[in-house]
Structure 1
Amino acid sequence: MSRDDDERREPEGRAAEVPEQLALIRETVREHKERQAPKARPRTWRGAELAATLPVARVLVDKGLVHLDRYFDYAVPAAMDEEAQPGVRVRVRFGAGEREGRREGGKLINGFIVERRADSDFTGRLAPLAQVLSPEPVLGPELLQLCRAVADRYAGSLADVVQLAVPPRMARAEKKPSPRRPPAPRAPEPGGWERYEQGPAFLQALAGKDTPRAVWTALPGAGDWADELARALAATLASGRGALAVLPDGRAAARVDAALTAHVGEGQHVLLTADSGPEQRYRRWLAVSRGAVRAVVGTRAAMFAPVAKLGLAAIWDDGDSSHSDDHAPQPHAREVLLQRAVTERAAFLLGAHGCTVEAAQLVESGFAHPLAAERATVRTVAPLVRTVGDRDEERDEAARSARLPTLAWRAARDGLERGPVLVQVPRRGYVPRLACARCREPARCAHCAGPLEAAGEGAELRCGWCAREAPDWHCSLCGGARLRGSVFGARRTAEELGRAFPTVPVRTSGGEHVLDSVPGRPALVVSTPGAEPVPEGGEGYAAALLLDGWALLGRPDLRAGEEALRRWLGAASLVRGQGEGGSVVIVAEETLRPVQALVRWDPVGHAMRELADRAELGFPPVSRMAAVSGPPEAVTGLLDAAGEAGLPEHTEVLGPVPLPATERGRPRRTGAPPPGEQWERALVRVPRGSGAALAAALKTAQVRRLTGREGPVAHIRIDPPDIG
């Protein structure tokens, strides 16, 4: 036999060794991968050892689709048995369906274990958990129950609400232990609450573990309300229970935080705002979740804070739009805290300088009691309010250079002799609205039809939507080239006041440059609504000018009067009392209801009259309402499906009506049509008490249309803030 024959036979001789070698290679590679990635878990149940007890985990997957608003079962590997407890974050395979009776494939997504079970309703083979992201139980039973209630109320998905309630994980924050909870503080003295008829009794009830519910009309004062709210929180802590206060912005939260620290010291509470950063905020949230801290002061997201043994849920200035979340399902902090007060059997406090119709409804229905001062006390601490109407301005020829009526100019001059003077202007910028000087036609951009505005004296015209310049503008109606300002902003007002009072410093607050405080020395402070800084020293402003009242009252909105009065009261409350010489001048027609309410300082009376008008017309909060918007076929299809799903009795559908098209270049609001598309909106109204049935019917209809792929999707908004 030749050598060539031996060489040809050699591979045949080794053929029997190949399977053994391949098996050895595969085993070596597998062991190497296990050493390199010890956290890797089997993807299927096949070959995986399961937990000895409760081998099924019911998981809420992080998919905010309303037709997936349910739990999914997964197998618990034995290696994860100890860490895979209810409330922890996990990763699971999801989205590829079933194959041969087994859930397989899919992408890795996050989720939360809500329950451990001994068996599953799923008849096939379960896929195992892919990974336990953290052993920290962040979704407790009470928080899960709250999120479910909010999702049902707003016809949304549970995953969307949980995403709002539980902040993103920061691993370093979880590794640090929370501090030990300090002993309960002593109950505070009534302090400013003695000015209210039932104020001391309210604090005593909180300190005695009672659950009073009140709508509090706060007296004017630069920082009095923050101290009074802090005393209510401190009284609740003294009873051994938890407390929660939700504020509209970080500045207001910081004031309450400082006041509460002064009463109870460090370590009793945490401040939850976006200003603290993701890691610090998550560390503070964990301290609350672990029970190391029982009091929370924060902005909107704090409404879900997992405070143990909640004794008081408080909200300040519920009419502020910041309390309504922009993310689905768009819950309002007031409604979430009301839900918590009922389910967790806690006290409830709604406070503001003004009064919304929702607050008036709580009092009229008997759910809450009014907490206000006597009229004699109000007249003492409130400033003197005077008005300048349109007829007064027509007869006024003085002070044209400062765009101020004579009465306002004199109030500013006299106030500057004693301290700072606040000037509230409804709009930001220089001249945000321009019009033709000849025919008064609004100046529009030739490209996108957006409003033209002037950024400063001598600056080129620029579109407020697409930012294009318009150097050669001419009126499209009369051909005129001259412009006049129809609305003047804060910077233009500050410039004119600087010319009228050349020796007085002028400060501005608004937009991206908001001042927290200003010195108590004479100065002119020009601010947009909601951005008014607090004067240092605690004395307040010597005077306030509320300009261009028509700009707030003229909005085509059901809440225009209520919102205007709220803005005016917020500014006027920073002014010294009438006994100290404080005065307010408002440039608006004095016969209007909101203006008269400001003159009399009677926000509750205004809210009760507004509530009576809403009751006569059937508008919220006397009724419950949902807005359905989208393409015409989507709106019609959803309403038909909701009718089949069982809309409550006496349901009334208003519309649908066309929605204004979104101009190209203009920011799109939630629920508004995309540029170039025509949408419709219908309002679905039911009697109060049928809101849960309305939300359930709309959600069922939405699920049916999504699972059946029955055309485009409609947008649902429960309790829309704008129905105008």
Structure 2
Amino acid sequence: MSPSAEEPASGGSVDVAAPRAVARVLVESPLPQLDRLFDYAVPAHLRADVAPGVRVRVPLRSAGRIADAFVVELDTTSDHRGELSDLEDVVSTVPVLAPEVYRLARAVADRAGGSASDVLRLAVPPRQVRVEKAHLAALEEAAGAEPVADEAVEAHAVTGYSADALAGLVPARGRAAVDAVPLLAELPDGTWVGRWAVTAAELATVALAAGDDTIVAVPDHRDEDQVLRALAAVLPPDRVVRLDSRQSNADRYRAVLRARGATPLVLVGNRSVLLAPAERLGLIVVFDDGDPLFSEPLSPYVHARDTALLRQAQQGTALVFLGHTRSTDVQRLVEIGFLAEVRPDPRYQPHVVPTSQQAARDGFAAQARIPSTAWTEARAAVEHGPVLIQVAHPGYSPRLACTECGDTARCLRCNGPLVQRSQGAQPACSWCGALAVGWRCQTCEGTVMKSVGTGASRTADELGKAFPGVRVIVSDGSREIVRVDDEPAIVVATRGAEPIAPGGYRAVLLLDGERMLARESLRVAEDCLRWWANATALAARRAPVVLVGVGGALASALATWQLARYVSGELADRRELRFPPAVRVATVTGTVDTVAQALEALPPEVGREVLGPVEVPDAGVRAIVRFDFARGAEVAQVLRSQVIRAATGRRKAVAGRRGRPLPTLRVRFDDVEPFTD
């Protein structure tokens, strides 16, 4: 391939034997044609400062263009034919890119047909000069001081499981899907956390006692808070590092630099923590991998689960997928023998009561949103402490519709759905926030709206009237409540926003089950099972958990706590239909011509399993490619080459319906969005 105008000034294929300093760098650029290492000569005045992992600036072939880059390797020879361009400058002498992080970024990008620089953008925070200066000063001070031995870490027994079922997994570098104990645990300081957090902390002590690092990845800050509290009970504070997207750039940068030290650490954070530097990594723990927050929304869109699997393979670590239930992806790994199964011993079964499987004493009451059984349990339990009520949607009215025709009321500005966030509030757009002043139905010209469904705020208002004198607490996306006290209260929470109560809730009501299941999605059943199981784990021991409006196999699985068996059935159905995760998929989006050429380049066996192309508004056309896991590397390489070809080709931009230019070609692997309505 002839070099493009944006290609760095080095390339070629013959050896140059003259001894010299050559830096192989990865240019920080979103252009797919720049996703490889390039050789640059290191000038004599920069040789003392250039080392693998440092940030540098390099000239590109375009006149006057300078780009940022990371030094990946140093050598004395190059395959470039001719004279190498010199490095322009060293941005910082601090090596922020660890070798294991670059190898992981390269593997992640190759699996997803993306660019390593996009992965490193997630792994390495922007440079912070003050943090660097403080780091270098601390290193200089430590170099001149007497060495101090690190405080020894005691390995704790992993409670709730049979002897060595989990503790022996870490030194053996084993891999397992671990069912969490569905209860809360009290820490020495009186704080209550999920038993799963205690399990993760105890596993971390086993790895640290052996001198190895541990990475604990959780979906969000609520889970992170529990893990950090559990770790604080068993480890010194200096052995735990928090690293997540909620931190400022300075704090994230400081955490990355700490992780490159010689002291074994526990690194805790959300999906990005799996890209943290950890040279002596001994254990990776991923909690609740089915949570959608583990899906990376930025290119190359790799799920945290896949990042963990790639890192485990590269560094030979122990790997634990911990959760109250499993995703179908983890279940597939169990069924092919890649992961072992570990269950609590002794087994604890929550007291789950599906109302749909009870004989109805009052037909009308049984069909109510809160049937008589749920009312009875809630009234009895609230006298002794808090009661949790899980609902599907936040706000007051999650959906507004035209009274005349019943169509969803939509914003006149952006066509987004209108919602009512509190009683008496003016309806507003859930997308752009515009108030629905002078609203008129686009279908029938009606001017009156009606509420459809009940949100958390409306539920709280209704329960406040039904339970006079009892506190009603609402926890949803707009009101972050992490913990409540053990006084009597009704806690109305949306899924995933449930606070923790000391000792657990005296009763849990799972409402709106039918509405949650009505969502058209490939993962709707396993998502609902995960939401309900996580809420069930917040109940006190043997406290009633009432599942309302859901029957069949899903309700039976929750009632008997045979969650893995249900997920296995879901996976069997996917195999018959050849849907993920039984197979891998790639969505190919772009203009008609570029998508057609990309599909033609696929191997014939893969090309026969293409769904589409179909038109996608303002995105051109999209096709879905299905293929077996064994062909993943081949398909990724072919589609990646087509992305580069489309990016470097000279074509006239094609505009979409709204006048925006369509993407020339975009590829996304393992995306289930096309299977979701």
- Shorter-chain TM-score range: 0.7 to 0.9
2:674 equivalent in structure 1: 723
**Match of 1:150?**
108
Alignment-derived partner of residue 468 in structure 1: 434
Determine if contact 1:291/1:307 at 8 Å carries over to the other structure.
no
SS at match of 1:544: strand
Instruction: Give, in angstroms, the shift of residue 285 of structure 1.
Output: 1.4
Whether 1:159 aligns to 2:117 is yes
Alignment of 1:612-623 (within 5 A): 612-623=572-583
Match of 1:503 in 2: 469
In the TM superposition, residue 355 of structure 1 has moved relative to its aligned partner by 0.9
Is residue 532 of structure 1 aligned with residue 498 of structure 2? yes
1:280 deviation in Å? 2.2
Question: Aligned residue for 1:487?
Answer: 453
**Residue in 2 aligned with 1:589?**
550
- Matched to 1:113, the amino acid is V
Moved more, 210-219 or 126-135: 126-135
- The TM-score with structure 1 as length reference comes to 0.82
Matched residues, number: 632
Q: Which residue of 1 aligns with 2:364?
A: 396
Letter in 1 for 2:257: L
Letter paired with 1:218: A
> Given the alignment of the two structures, is residue 698 of structure 1 paired with residue 639 of structure 2, yes or no?
yes
Match of 1:653 in 2: 610
**CA offsets 1:429-453 (integer angstroms, 9 cap, x no match):** 1112012345433223344433222
Aligned residue for 1:699, secondary structure, equals helix
Q: 356-365 or 593-602: which moved more?
A: 593-602
Question: Pairwise mapping of residues 608-687 of structure 1 onto structure 2 (< 5 A)?
Answer: 608-640=568-600, 642-643=601-602, 646=603, 652-659=609-616, 661=617, 677=618, 679-687=620-628
Q: Within the alignment, does 1:210 sit opposite 2:178 as a pair? A: no
Q: Letter of the aligned partner of 2:347 in structure 1?
A: T
**C-alpha contact 1:86 1:137 (8 A) present in aligned 2:** yes
Change (3 A) 1:384 1:623: closer
Equivalent residue runs for 1:152-301 within 5 Å: 152-175=110-133, 176=135, 177=138, 182-192=150-160, 196-197=161-162, 200-206=164-170, 209-222=171-184, 223-301=194-272
Alignment partner of 1:545 is 2:509: yes
The structural deviation recorded for 1:388 is 4.3
Q: Which residue number in structure 2 is paired with residue 415 of structure 1?
A: 381
Q: CA deviation at 1:423?
A: 1.2
* Change beyond 3 A, Cα 1:147–1:406: same
Deviation at 1:273, TM superposition (A): 2.2
Distance 1:124 1:608, change over 3 A: same
Q: 2:355: which partner in 1?
A: 387
Asked if structure 2 preserves the Cα contact closer than 8 Å seen for 1:384 and 1:577, the reply is no
Per-residue deviation, 1:398: 9.1
Q: Aligned partners of 2:257 and 2:182: how far apart in 1?
A: 36
What is the CA deviation profile of residues 151-203 of structure 1, one whole-angstrom value per residue up to 9, with x for unaligned ones? 100000111111112222212222222687724412112323xxx34x63320
**1:399–1:331 distance in 2 versus 1, CA, 3 Å:** closer
Query: Relative to 1, partners in 2 of residues 1:216 and 1:397: Cα closer, same or farther, differing over 3 Å?
Result: closer
What is the Cα deviation at residue 461 of structure 1?
2.4
Letter in 2 for 1:586: L
Q: Is contact 1:294-1:308 (8 Å) kept?
A: no
Cα distance in 2 for partners of 1:652, 1:298 equals 38
Aligned-partner Cα distance in 1 for 2:515–2:593: 37
The superposition leaves residues 239-295 of structure 1 with CA deviations (integer Å, 9 ceiling, x where unpaired) of: 222211111112211211221221122222211123442222221211111333432
Question: How far did 1:586 drift?
Answer: 2.1
Shift of 1:95: 4.7
Instruction: Show the counterpart of 1:131.
Output: 89
| One-letter amino acid of the counterpart of residue 586, structure 2 | A
Contact 1:647 1:693 in 2 (8 A): no
- Provide the residue aligned with 2:347 in structure 1: 377
Amino acid at match of 1:429: G
Q: Distance in 2 between matches of 1:633 and 1:388?
A: 53
Q: Distance in 2 between matches of 1:116 and 1:369?
A: 41
Q: Displacement, 1:309?
A: 1.6
Specify the code of the residue in structure 1 equivalent to 2:418.
Answer: L
> Are residues 390 and 187 of structure 1, via their aligned partners in 2, closer, same or farther at CA, if it must alter by over 3 Å?
closer
- Give the whole-Å Cα distance in 2 for the aligned partners of 1:61 and 1:214: 37
Identity %: 39
How many Å separate the matches in 2 of 1:81 and 1:393?
Answer: 84
2 CA distance for matches of 1:166 and 1:678? 31
Aligned counterparts of 1:95 and 1:289: Cα–Cα separation in 2: 34
How far does residue 650 in structure 1 lie from its aligned partner after superposition? 7.1
- Which position in structure 2 is the counterpart of 1:32? none
Determine the C-alpha separation between the residues in 1 that align with 2:435 and 2:228.
Answer: 45
Q: Deviations over 1:519-574 (max 9, x none)?
A: 11111111111111111x3x100111112112221111110111111111111110
- Deviation track 1:5-55 (CA, whole Å, cap 9, x = no partner) reads xxxxxxxxxxxxxxxxxxxxxxxxxxxxxxxxxxxxxx999xxxxxx9633
Equivalent in the alignment of 1:607: 567
Q: 1:274 to 1:160 in 2, by over 3 A?
A: closer
Report SS of the residue matched to 1:555: coil
The whole-number CA distance in structure 1 between the counterparts of 2:292 and 2:245 is 17
Deviation at 1:648, TM superposition (A): 6.2
Q: Could you tell me whether the CA contact under 8 Å between 1:87 and 1:114 is conserved in 2?
A: yes
Q: For residues 588 and 657 of structure 1, what CA distance do their matches in structure 2 show?
A: 37
Distance in 2 between residues matched to 1:554 and 1:573, nearest whole Å: 24
Unaligned stretches of 5+ residues in structure 2: 1-7, 11-17, 143-147, 185-193, 653-662
Aligned partners of 2:628 and 2:392: how far apart in 1? 36
Question: What residue number does 1:48 align with?
Answer: none
What stretches of structure 1 of length at least 5 have no aligned partner? 1-42, 46-51, 97-104, 662-676
Contact 1:653 1:682 in 2 (8 A): yes
> Post-superposition shift, 1:692?
1.1
CA distance in 2 between counterparts of 1:510 and 1:266 reads 31
Inter-partner Cα distance in structure 1 for 2:29 and 2:167: 44
* Cα distance change, pair 426–479 in 1 and its aligned pair in 2 (3 A): same
Deviation at 1:326, TM superposition (A): 1.1
For the residues of structure 1 that align with 2:257 and 2:211, how far apart are their CA atoms? Answer: 20
Q: 2:351 is matched by which residue type in structure 1?
A: P
Change in CA separation of 1:681 and 1:79 when aligned onto 2, cut-off 3 Å:
same
| Match runs of 1:17-28 below 5 Å | none
2:630 partner SS: coil
Q: Distance in 1 between matches of 2:313 and 2:637?
A: 21
Question: SS of the residue aligned with 1:267?
Answer: helix
Cα distance in 2 for partners of 1:441, 1:332 equals: 36
How far apart are 1:647 and its partner, in Å?
A: 6.5
**Worse-superposed segment, 227-236 or 278-287:** 278-287
Rg (Cα) greater in structure: 1
Offset of 1:399 from its aligned partner?
11
Letter of the aligned partner of 1:691 in structure 2?
Answer: G
- In structure 2, the residue corresponding to 1:215 is in which secondary structure? strand
Which of residues 532, 536, 540 is equivalent to 1:572?
Answer: 536
Matching residue of 2:32 = 66
- The one-letter code of the counterpart of 1:597 is A
Per the alignment, in what secondary structure is the counterpart of residue 176 of structure 2?
A: strand
Q: What's the offset of the Cα at 1:598?
A: 1.6
Deviation readout 1:404-437 (Å, 9 max, x if unpaired)? 3222222221110111011111111111201234
CA distances 1:76-104 after superposition (whole Å, capped 9, x unpaired): 111110111121101122250xxxxxxxx
SS at match of 2:39: strand
Report the CA distance shift for 1:202/1:242 in structure 2 as closer, same or farther (over 3 A): same
Ranges of 4+ aligned residues in structure 1 off by more than 4 Å: 178-181, 388-394, 397-400, 471-482, 646-651
Whether the aligned pair in 2 keeps the contact of 1:389 and 1:587 (CA below 8 Å) is no
- 1:703-723 Cα shifts (integer Å, max 9, x gaps): 122222356512211111323
